[in-house]
Amino acid sequence: MKRRRRNSQRATMSEVAQLADVSPSTVSLYLRRPDEVSSRRAERIQTAIDRLGYLPNTMAGGLASSRSNIIGVIVPTITFSFFAETLETLERNLRAAGYQLLIGNTEFDPSREEELIRSILSWNPSGLVLTGFSHSRKSVSLLAKSDIPIVEMWDYGQEGLDMVVGFSHHTCGRLVAEHLLRNGYRHMAFLSTNFQRDIRARERYHGFRDAIADSGGSVVVRELAGRSNTAEAGKLLCSLVDEHPETQAVFCSNDMVALGAMFECQRQGWSIPGRLAVVGFGNQDFTDSTVPPMTTVEPPRQEIGDHIARLLIDRLKGDDTATRIDLGVRLIVRESG
């Protein structure tokens, strides 16, 4: 029977085997566990591989072994440096262990998560990493059926589907509130990216608000309309202070928003922290060189990636290790608040 034409020029394993004068099985074995092949044949096989420029066909291998070296990761966006750094660390660790990352981003649309999960599961991945705890009912049932290790990251506190690596944003909010309260501030504001998009910012706000309420301070909140926008943050801060001139300190949902706030202060001639204390979140690289240096919170961006990789690798080796890790955050006290 006539068949569709062979896929481009790529050599197959059989061709390698033929050239090396061994069976395809031996080539396969050489590729997977080289030390179980005699050095004489190993050498012949390697020569053949080089001669033919042989590249294994990952799909064929994956199908035959009904395993894949894929780990799926779903994040809201890769343009937040937070997630990008976690991804990069995760990728580095996992690649070293022979895994390949398949990245999906929801662009902050929670309904897209399910579609991404489907698409990733159809690759038969070895594991899956999700951001946060909030998943559609359908997604949860897909995941339950899939029977692979799941990690939920960048959050902590809820039960979780399987493994969890992150920190509590609520606690983070409290931490900042307590720091400011300790320094005598009473009237606070929370200046935030949109809560709908950034649900973790809302958690931080809740922690912040609760701690302040506990000690009798006041707190005002303002949300940006769209995506994180430094200029809009400045304007919003301005109108906030206009309406609530008693405000003494503002906790921003991320360092970029805080940067916008600081520039606005400079523009208005408000001294930092004299007139207004400003605290960021993220401890991004630039925060130590603002004027004055920015007080901020350092989330364990890379540590999250490191821990997830370790957890996943252990689990895939069969070990059953710790399944919930709270990495906490570090308050970086500088001069802005």
Partner DNA sequence: CCCTTTGATCGTAGCGCTACGATTATAGAA
Partner DNA sequence: TTCTATAATCGTAGCGCTACGATCAAAGGG
Distance separating alpha carbons of residues 11 and 32, to the nearest angstrom = 18
Window contacting its own copies (CB under 8 A); options: 72-80, 161-169, 183-191, 304-312: 72-80
The least CB distance from residue 315 to its own copies, in Å, is 15
- Angle among Cα 237, 240, 241 to the nearest 5 degrees reads 90
C-alpha torsion 219→301→155→127, nearest 10: 160
248 φ, ψ (degrees, to nearest 5): -110, -25
CA distances from 225 to 173, 251, 254, 281 (A): 21, 17, 15, 19
Measured from the CB atom, is 38 or 141 closer to its own copies?
141
- Structural tokens at position 117: 């999960």
- Structural tokens at position 19: 């050239």
Contact in structure between 54 and 45 (CB atoms under 8 Å): no
Single-letter amino acid, residue 78:
I
For the chain, the residue count is: 337
The least CB distance from residue 56 to DNA, in Å, is 5
146 binds, among its own copies, DNA, none (CB under 5 to 8 A by kind): its own copies
The least CB distance from residue 161 to DNA, in Å, is 24
Distance separating alpha carbons of residues 200 and 191, to the nearest angstrom = 14
* Touching DNA, residues 49-68 (CB under 7 A): 56-57, 60-61, 63-67
Residue 260: which of 208, 198, 192 has the closest Cα? 192
Window contacting DNA (CB under 7 A); options: 6-14, 99-107, 186-194, 277-285: 6-14
Check residue 47 for interaction with DNA (CB under 7 A): no
> How many residues in the shown chain lie near its own copies by CB under 8 A?
64
Rounded to the nearest angstrom, the gap between the alpha carbon of residue 15 and the centroid of all alpha carbons in its chain is 42
The least CB distance from residue 247 to its own copies, in Å, is 20
Beta pairing, strands 187-192 & 218-223: parallel
38 binds, among its own copies, DNA, none (CB under 5 to 8 A by kind): DNA
Check residue 2 for interaction with DNA (CB under 7 A): yes
Window contacting its own copies (CB under 8 A); options: 57-65, 161-169, 180-188, 193-201: 57-65
Binding residues for its own copies (CB under 8 A): 4, 6-10, 53, 55-60, 62-63, 66, 68, 77-79, 81, 84-85, 87-88, 91-92, 100-103, 105, 107, 118-119, 121-124, 141-142, 145-148, 228-231, 233-234, 256, 259-260, 263-264, 266-267, 285-286, 288-291
Q: Which residues form the interface with DNA (CB under 7 A)?
A: 1-4, 6-7, 10, 12-14, 22-26, 28-29, 31-32, 36-38, 40-41, 56-57, 60-61, 63-67
